[in-house]
Structure 1
Amino acid sequence: MIASPRSGDVPPAMPGAAQVAVVLCTRDRPRFLARALEVLAEVLPAEAELIVIDSGSATDATARIAQRGSVRYVRSDVPGLSIARNLGLAATSRDIVVYTDDDCELQPGALGALLLPFTSPRVGATTGRLSDHAAPPVAAGGAAVRVFRAPADGIDAGHGALMAYRTAVLRAIGGFDPLLGAGRAFGGAEDLDAFCRVLRAGSTVVHVPRAEVRHMFTRDDEDYAALQAAYGRGLGAMTRKWVAATGSPGRRIAWRVLRRAALGLVRHRGDARARAGRRAYVAGLREGYRRARDIPVSDLLFHDVAPPAPVRLGAPIAIAEHSPAPERGAA
Structure 2
Amino acid sequence: MNSGSGRSAAQRALELSTRVSFNGLAEAPERGFSLITHWNQQYGLCHVHLADDGGYALASPPVGLIVFWWLGRPVAHRWCADGGSEPLAGQIDSHVLELIAAEEQRAGAAQLGASVVICTRDRPDQLRRCLASLPQQTWQAREVIVVDNASIGRRTRDVAHEAGAIYLREERPGLDFARNTGARAASSPILAYTDDDVLLHPTWLERLVAAFDTPTVAAVTGLVLPAELATDAQEHFEKHWSFGRGYLRQDFDTARFAQHRVDVFPAWEIGAGASMAFRREIFERIGYFDERLDVGQAGCSGDSEFWYRVLAHGLSCRYEPRAVAFHVHRRTLDGLASQIHHYMRGHAVALLVQWERTGIAANRRQAWLGMPRWYAGRLWHRLRGLCRPQDRFLREEVLGYLSGLLFYLRHRREGS
Quickly name the TM-score band, shorter chain normalised. Answer: 0.7 to 0.9
Counterpart CA distance in 2 for 1:21 and 1:103 is 18
Q: 1:183 to 1:97 in 2, by over 3 A?
A: same
DSSP-derived class of the 2:402 partner: helix
TM-score by length of 2: 0.61
Q: CA RMSD in A?
A: 3.1
In structure 1, the partner of 2:146 is 52
In structure 2, the partner of 1:241 is 353
Q: 1:257 to 1:51 in 2, by over 3 A?
A: farther
Counterpart CA distance in 2 for 1:162 and 1:118 is 14
Q: 1:296 to 1:256 in 2, by over 3 A?
A: closer
In structure 2, the partner of 1:210 is 322
CA offsets 1:241-284 (integer angstroms, 9 cap, x no match): 33355133525865886798789988x9443xx53334312321
Counterpart code for 1:291: F
Q: 1:291 to 1:250 in 2, by over 3 A?
A: same
Counterpart CA distance in 1 for 2:282 and 2:214 is 14
Counterpart CA distance in 2 for 1:23 and 1:253 is 33
Deviates more, 1:35-44 or 1:123-132: 35-44
Counterpart code for 2:210: L
Q: 1:281 to 1:235 in 2, by over 3 A?
A: same
Deviates more, 1:215-224 or 1:120-129: 215-224
Counterpart CA distance in 2 for 1:63 and 1:164 is 24
Larger Rg: 2
Residue 76 of structure 1: how far off its partner (Å): 1.3
Q: 1:23·1:100 contact (CA, 8 Å) conserved in 2?
A: yes
Deviates more, 1:27-36 or 1:142-151: 142-151
Structure with greater contact order relative to length (CA < 8 Å, sep ≥ 6): 1
Gaps of 5+ in 2: 1-98, 100-107, 230-234, 236-243, 259-264
Counterpart CA distance in 2 for 1:26 and 1:66 is 10
In structure 1, the partner of 2:170 is 76
Matches within 5 A, 1:53-202: 53-134=147-228, 143-149=247-253, 150=257, 152-184=265-297, 186-202=298-314
Counterpart code for 1:76: E
In structure 2, the partner of 1:306 is none
Q: 1:204 to 1:35 in 2, by over 3 A?
A: same
DSSP-derived class of the 1:118 partner: coil
DSSP-derived class of the 2:133 partner: helix
Counterpart CA distance in 1 for 2:371 and 2:143 is 36
Residue 60 of structure 1: how far off its partner (Å): 0.5
In structure 2, the partner of 1:227 is 339
Structure 2 residue 120 is matched with structure 1 residue 26: yes
Counterpart CA distance in 2 for 1:241 and 1:108 is 36
Residue 57 of structure 1: how far off its partner (Å): 0.7
Counterpart CA distance in 1 for 2:123 and 2:373 is 35
Deviates more, 1:142-151 or 1:108-117: 142-151
DSSP-derived class of the 1:56 partner: coil
In structure 2, the partner of 1:277 is 393
Q: 1:155·1:253 contact (CA, 8 Å) conserved in 2?
A: no
